[in-house]
Amino acid sequence: MTTKRRKRHSPEQIVRKLRDADAMLNAGKDLAAVLQALEVSESTLDRWRSQYGGMKSAEARRLKELEHENKRLKMVVAELTLDNRMLKHVTEGNW
């Protein structure tokens, strides 16, 4: 058995595949055929539906950008908090 290489899908691709999956399911195809056509697993499709269900591609792209910015800002806050604690420790002279 060969293993498939893992793909990263952009938010636009995910929204498009979700739309295609809904269209195929409404046309009467069974779930196994839809999953094979989209080349994803059932758990991936379920995860995408919970995360991107009902979104447009522009909204999904904006969500990813905001998540990335939020992650970056959290890192900045963590670094500043560490610097602040270090400076307090040094100024107290407890070292």
- Where residue 2 falls among pLDDT bands split at 50, 70, 90? low
Q: What is the pLDDT of residue 4?
A: 65
Alpha-helical regions (H) of the chain: 11-26, 31-38, 42-52, 57-92
The C-alpha atoms of residue 56 and residue 58 are separated, in whole angstroms, by: 6
- pLDDT digit string (tens) for 38-89? 999 999 999 999 988 888 878 888 988 999 999 999 999 999 999 999 999 8
User: In the structure encoding, which two tokens stand for residue 83, read together?
Assistant: 């610097």
The C-alpha atoms of residue 48 and residue 56 are separated, in whole angstroms, by: 13
